[in-house]
């Protein structure tokens, strides 16, 4: 066989293998201390990281950080606002003289028999004394409806029905309130200041016992003063309304009311 022919040729190989083995053993023996020191170092680091509190580590952090648990006022600041107006801007002054306060018109002093001086404050509105839709007779010439009745009608007649409430046509002062009015029967007179002019309204033929006012009493527009009746020279229940000025001359009350009624 070939191996037995050259026995020296196989010896170097065996010697080389034997030399390599001791070298590997020495290298492994040299690495053992190094690995042991590294393992100990790693273990010590792990021990330090698990035994030192987190605050001890973060306490060395000098970088300021905002806490999410801080109150809003600690982490938010508000800047004050200012308004700057240039010197060229000027405000136009308001002249008090541009506004006028209208004074109430002075009252009218009227002399009334039995009452003396009556102060009449200007009325602010005029109203119908009763429902105006039922007019029986107008102002002016007419055929006398009864014996002793005039052929010239000094007033206007309304027929709202027996007992209907009669109201004053405007603010004023009652100058007559009587149940002994002769041909006028039970009647009331109210003096008014209408736009600075003295105007008197007279309500006649009212029911007995229906007087709701007295002479000298102040009344307001629409205030009840009596009820529709048929006293005095009357042919049936109705309101006879007369109107006249300071001169006592009667005028057409229907025409006047139609232009002055405000409510």
Q: What is the pLDDT along the chain (263 residues), one digit of tens a residue?
A: 444 444 444 444 444 444 445 545 554 444 454 455 554 555 455 544 444 444 444 444 444 444 444 454 555 555 666 666 566 656 666 665 665 666 778 888 888 887 888 899 999 999 999 999 998 888 888 777 777 777 778 899 999 999 999 999 999 999 999 999 999 999 999 999 999 999 999 999 999 999 999 999 999 999 999 999 999 999 899 999 999 999 999 999 999 999 999 86
- What is the CB neighbour count within 10 angstroms for residue 204? 27
What pLDDT, on a 0 to 100 scale, did the predictor assign at position 14? 46
Q: Tell me the per-residue pLDDT of 220-247, one tens digit each, with 9 for 90 and over.
A: 999 999 999 999 999 899 999 999 999 9
Alpha-carbon distance of 129 to 167, in angstroms, equals 5
- Token code pair at residue 34: 């190094």
Q: Measure CA of the first residue to CA of the last residue in the chain; give whole Å.
A: 153
Alpha-carbon distance of 134 to 34, in angstroms, equals 132
What pLDDT, on a 0 to 100 scale, did the predictor assign at position 222? 97
On whether the CB atoms of residues 243 and 191 are closer than 8 A, the answer is no
Alpha-carbon distance of 222 to 171, in angstroms, equals 8
Q: For 108-260, which CATH superfamily applies?
A: Glucose Permease (Domain IIA) (2.70.70.10)
What pLDDT, on a 0 to 100 scale, did the predictor assign at position 82? 64
What pLDDT, on a 0 to 100 scale, did the predictor assign at position 99? 59
What pLDDT, on a 0 to 100 scale, did the predictor assign at position 159? 95
Q: Tell me the per-residue pLDDT of 89-127, one tens digit each, with 9 for 90 and over.
A: 566 666 656 656 667 788 888 888 878 888 999 999 999
Nearest to 169 by CA among 242, 222, 229, 109: 222
What pLDDT, on a 0 to 100 scale, did the predictor assign at position 63? 46
- What is the CB neighbour count within 10 angstroms for residue 130? 20
Domain chopping of the chain, boundaries: 2-58, 108-260
Q: What H or E segment, with its residue span, contains residue 250?
A: strand 250-251
Angle at 29 between CA 23 and CA 31, to 5 degrees: 105
Task: Provide the 8-state DSSP code for 208.
Answer: T
């Amino acid at each position: 066989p070939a191996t037995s022919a050259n026995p020296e040729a196989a010896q170097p190989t065996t010697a080389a293998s034997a030399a390599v083995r001791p070298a590997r053993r020495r290298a492994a023996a040299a690495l053992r201390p190094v690995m042991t020191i590294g393992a100990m170092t790693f273990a010590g680091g792990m021990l330090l990281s698990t035994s030192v509190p987190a605050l001890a580590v973060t306490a060395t952090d000098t970088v300021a950080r905002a806490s999410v648990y801080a109150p809003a006022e600690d982490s938010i600041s508000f800047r004050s606002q200012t308004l700057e107006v240039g010197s060229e801007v000027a405000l136009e002054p308001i002249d008090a003289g541009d506004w006028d306060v209208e004074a109430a018109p002075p009252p009218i002093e009227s002399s009334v028999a039995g009452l003396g001086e009556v102060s009449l404050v200007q009325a602010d509105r005029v109203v119908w004394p009763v429902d105006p839709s039922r007019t029986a007779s107008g102002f002016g010439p007419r055929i006398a409806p009864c014996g002793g009745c005039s052929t010239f009608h000094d007033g206007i007649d309304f027929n709202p029905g027996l007992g209907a409430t009669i109201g004053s046509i405007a603010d004023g002062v009652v100058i007559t309130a009587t149940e002994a009015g002769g041909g006028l029967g039970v009647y009331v007179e109210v003096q008014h200041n209408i736009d600075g002019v003295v105007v008197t309204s007279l309500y006649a033929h009212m029911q007995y016992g229906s007087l709701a006012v007295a002479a000298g009493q102040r009344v307001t527009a629409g205030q009840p003063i009596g009820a529709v009746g048929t006293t005095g020279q009357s042919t049936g229940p109705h309101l006879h309304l007369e109107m006249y000025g300071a001169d006592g001359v009667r005028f057409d009350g229907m025409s006047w009311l139609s232009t002055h009624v405000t409510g």
